[in-house]
Amino acid sequence: MTISRTALLSAVALGMLVAGCSKERQETPAALASKGAVVPTVAAPSEAGAARPGGAREVKLSNPLYEFAYSYPAAAGAIADLKKQLDDELEKAQAELASNAEGQKAESKKEGFPFNPLGNWVEWKVVTDLPGWLSLSADISDYQGGAHPNHGFDALVWDRQANQRRKPIDMFTSKAALTQAIRQDFCAALDRERAKKRGGEPIGDAIPEFSKCIDPAESTIILGSSNRKAFDRIGVLIAPYEAGPYAEGNYEVTLPVTPAVLAAVKPEFRSTFVAKR
């Protein structure tokens, strides 16, 4: 998961404004949850990956060093090459988490500070399943012992004809072209979502970026469909700190594919999209 420069700068600014952050840094996910902080929900632990009907997979691990969960749906598991890729990513994520946890545990013992179990949670979900394409999005949370977990997203589209995994954003001529096609509608929709979360109260006097529009193409783009025949929806998944403070959680904006969006699609993929007029 890649966290944008804007998100990191906003996080640093917010950390300077919030008192007592250094104390909060040593609290576990359970302690944070008791204080009302947003912490990923982890189901009852098990020690093995459970194969769900139809090729879906769900792995849950919990031990004194870390909590780990990774799942993908049956539609993904039914595609052999995609299943192999996701299984490889699962194993790599679990191994990296275990290594990081062991390292932090050893460091805490050496330096004499409390060790907080780490965590990594990934859930892949179907956005839409078309005759030639499978569109997936992933909710990702990662806890490395700090004040709270980090949240983010990932997305992919599986090209059934080419038997190839693609990034949704790569189906457009450029990020700039997509931004230009949707920016006006996106900014208006984002402000409406902000108003809902904030109850009409202004946010961002200390951090003005939280009241400004953001570049949608720098967030996670997903492709959806209302007719299950072609992509006619563009989704923008926005992690905390991108468009608002951590307490506001994630944002999601969904927009129709318009003629302007269609013009921004690479010619070789244009037949897969349809504009809503």
Determine contact, residues 157/46, Cβ cutoff 8 Å.
no
Angstrom distance (rounded) from CA 78 to CA 71? 14
Angstrom distance (rounded) from CA 229 to CA 226? 8
pLDDT of 87 > 90? The answer is yes
The predicted structure's pLDDT at residue 150: 93
Q: How far is CA 46 from CA 58, 102, 123, 138, 200, in A?
A: 10, 20, 16, 21, 44
pLDDT of 66 > 70? The answer is yes
Where is average pLDDT lowest: 44-48, 58-62, 141-145, 229-233?
44-48
Provide the percentage of residues in the chain whose pLDDT is more than 90.
73
pLDDT, one tens digit per residue, over 128-157 is 999 999 999 999 999 998 888 999 999 999
pLDDT of 11 > 70? The answer is no
Query: 251 is written with which tokens?
Result: 């944002």
pLDDT of 120 > 80? The answer is yes
The predicted structure's pLDDT at residue 202: 67
Query: 102 is written with which tokens?
Result: 């062991």
pLDDT of 251 > 50? The answer is yes
Q: Name residue 72's beta-bridge partners.
A: 57
Q: How far is CA 155 from CA 57, 68, 136, 223, 236, in A?
A: 18, 20, 6, 9, 10
pLDDT, one tens digit per residue, over 15-26 is 333 333 333 333
Angstrom distance (rounded) from CA 127 to CA 39? 24
pLDDT of 7 > 60? The answer is no
The predicted structure's pLDDT at residue 266: 98
The mean pLDDT value for 36-65 works out to 62
The predicted structure's pLDDT at residue 52: 53
Residues of the chain by 3-state class (helix, strand, coil), percent to 5: 40, 25, 35
pLDDT, one tens digit per residue, over 180-226 is 999 999 999 999 999 999 887 766 556 788 989 999 999 999 999 99
The predicted structure's pLDDT at residue 8: 37
Angle at 48 between CA 46 and CA 53, to 5 degrees: 100
Q: How far is CA 158 from CA 85, 89, 139, 219, 223, in A?
A: 11, 16, 18, 20, 11
Determine contact, residues 154/180, Cβ cutoff 8 Å.
no
Determine contact, residues 98/65, Cβ cutoff 8 Å.
yes
The predicted structure's pLDDT at residue 36: 34
The mean pLDDT value for 43-60 works out to 62
The predicted structure's pLDDT at residue 34: 35
The mean pLDDT value for 240-259 works out to 95
Angstrom distance (rounded) from CA 28 to CA 39? 10
pLDDT of 47 > 50? The answer is no
pLDDT of 45 > 80? The answer is no
Nearest residue to 211 via CA among 180, 182, 248, 181: 248
The predicted structure's pLDDT at residue 205: 57
| C-alpha distance across the termini of the chain, in Å | 34
**Top-confidence residue, 49 or 55:** 55
The mean pLDDT value for 109-125 works out to 95
The predicted structure's pLDDT at residue 200: 73
pLDDT grade for 31, boundaries at 50, 70 and 90? very low
Query: 61 is written with which tokens?
Result: 């691990």
